C-alpha cells in the first residue's frame, strides 16, 4: 500500500531570486508537497503518533522558505533534507515550488521546479 500525506497549494511570501531586487521585494510562491510514509497504524488506531502531522510538514516548509536563497532549487533541497532528518519514516518526497509572476519578461503565471526523492 502506498500512503501519502499531501499539502497542496500552499502560498507563501518569500525572498528568493537571482536578481538582488527579488530578494529585497519578495514574491509569492506556490508549493505542493507529497510525502510517502506508512500510516496504516493511524488508519486502524486513529492516533496521531501513527502518522506524520501535516502541520509539522507545513512548519518545515515555512521555516525553510523564510531563509532567502538565490535559487529555489536550494530551497527545495533544504526542505527535503529537513523532512528526511525530522521524519525517518518518510519513503519518498515530491515537492513543487512555483514562483508567481517571475521577472522573465513574459506573461507567465509562474515558473519553478519539482523534485522527487526516494529513499
Q: Which positions are catalytic?
A: 99
CB 64 within 8 A of CB 28: no
Tell me the residue length of the chain. Answer: 119
Look at residues 105, 102, 20 and name the one whose alpha carbon lies nearest to residue 68. Answer: 20
Where are the alpha helices (H) located in the chain, listed in sequence order?
20-25, 40-45, 54-65, 72-86
Task: Label residue 73 exposed, middle or buried (CB < 10 Å: 0-12, 13-18, 19+).
Answer: middle
Amino acid at each position: 500500500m502506498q500512503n501519502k500525506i499531501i499539502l497542496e497549494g500552499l502560498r507563501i511570501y518569500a525572498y528568493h531570486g537571482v536578481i538582488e531586487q527579488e530578494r529585497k521585494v519578495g514574491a509569492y510562491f506556490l508549493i505542493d508537497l507529497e510525502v510517502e510514509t506508512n500510516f496504516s497504524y493511524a488508519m486502524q488506531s486513529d492516533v496521531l503518533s501513527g502518522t506524520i502531522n501535516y502541520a509539522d510538514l507545513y512548519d518545515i516548509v515555512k521555516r525553510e522558505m523564510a531563509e532567502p536563497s538565490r535559487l529555489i532549487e536550494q530551497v527545495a533541497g533544504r526542505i527535503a533534507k529537513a523532512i528526511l532528518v525530522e521524519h525517518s519514516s518518510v519513503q519518498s518526497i515530491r515537492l513543487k515550488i512555483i514562483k508567481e509572476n517571475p521577472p522573465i519578461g513574459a506573461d507567465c503565471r509562474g515558473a519553478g521546479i519539482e523534485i522527487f526523492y526516494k529513499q
